[in-house]
Structure 1
Amino acid sequence: MQNPFGNNDDNQGGPGGLPLPPNYATVVDPTTGEMRLGKVGFSFTALIFTFLVPVFRNDWYNFLCMIGLQAGVFMGVYSLPNLTPDNLARIWAIADTLFQILWGFIYNMMYFKHLFNRGFQPTDQRSREILVNGHYLKEN
């Protein structure tokens, strides 16, 4: 199959031998053979869709972490004394925007680290290098 990503390396590490973009890595659970594919780096999908990303990836652990952190901040913001409802709404809008940016920067790392804690391992040397260079995995 011709590689649509323009790089000439043997980049056939995807499911079924399909070519992968340069910043994607594959991991596999050696006990079940389950394979997961993910991007290493900034997550534009988490920036835009926040909580829907872990739902679509069936990543309930990180979904609950994201909800819990935002709920804690939400309760903290709405417990501030002597603020009008308009000011509280503005503060919450700013906090929500900051959370969207935060999830964009760290969600992919959270996803891979949780997979590693569950026993997943990189499928090949290329994926291992991408994960080590992105500081998602420690060098062995």
Structure 2
Amino acid sequence: MKNPFGNGDDDDNQNMIPIPPNYATITNPETGEIRIAKVGFSFTSLLFNIWPSAFRGDWYNLLCMFGVQIIVLMAFLMWSSIPLASIEAIADLIFRIVWGFLYNLMYFRHKFNQGYVPADDRSRQLLTEANYLKSSN
């Protein structure tokens, strides 16, 4: 099967799954588990707020994101006289944008802390260029 995204040598990687150019593959050498995820802005977090972390089974980041949202909302309610419905609508939009920019970074960093490493040179280069991975790793 010809790789439609044109990354990698098709002759050497006959069984390779075609991966879009902005996706990186990471693997855990101890368990052999492989993860493929997007590098860059998370449109799923923009659309679904904290739920993409639940879809990926990323419970650590789900709880972190939920905790940040609750703490910020509670702090704002303590010092504001604006009704809850107004605050919640504005905060939801702001959090969706913030998580859109940060979630994929949080996901990869957490996976690196769990022992995952880039599966190939292309993924390593992509993660390093996006500052998800330090160049010394």
TM-score (norm 2): 0.89
Aligned residues of 2:25 and 2:119 also touching (Cα < 8 A): yes
What letter is aligned with 2:110? H
Structure 1 match to 2:28: 29
Structure 1 match to 2:94: 98
1:66-77 aligned at under 5 Å gives the runs: 66-77=65-76
Q: CA RMSD in A?
A: 1.9
Matched, 1:44 2:43: yes
Query: How many equivalent pairs are there?
Result: 134
Identity %: 53
Aligned residue for 2:57, secondary structure, equals coil
Pick closer, same or farther for the CA change 1:89–1:45 going to 2, 3 Å.
Answer: same
CA distance in 1, matches of 2:114, 2:40: 21
Structure 2 match to 1:53: 52
Structure 1 match to 2:108: 112
Describe the superposition over 1:44-87 as per-residue Cα deviations: whole angstroms up to 9, x where unpaired.
00111122101111101000000000000111122235x253xx
Per-residue deviation at 1:8? Answer: 6.0
Aligned residue for 1:3, secondary structure, equals coil
CA distance in 2, matches of 1:98, 1:47: 10
Among candidates 115, 124, 127, match of residue 123 of structure 2: 127
5+ residue gaps, structure 1, are none
Aligned residues of 1:77 and 1:92 also touching (Cα < 8 A): no
CA distance in 1, matches of 2:42, 2:54: 15
Per-residue deviation at 1:95? Answer: 1.5
Pick closer, same or farther for the CA change 1:84–1:125 going to 2, 3 Å.
Answer: closer
Structure 2 match to 1:2: 2
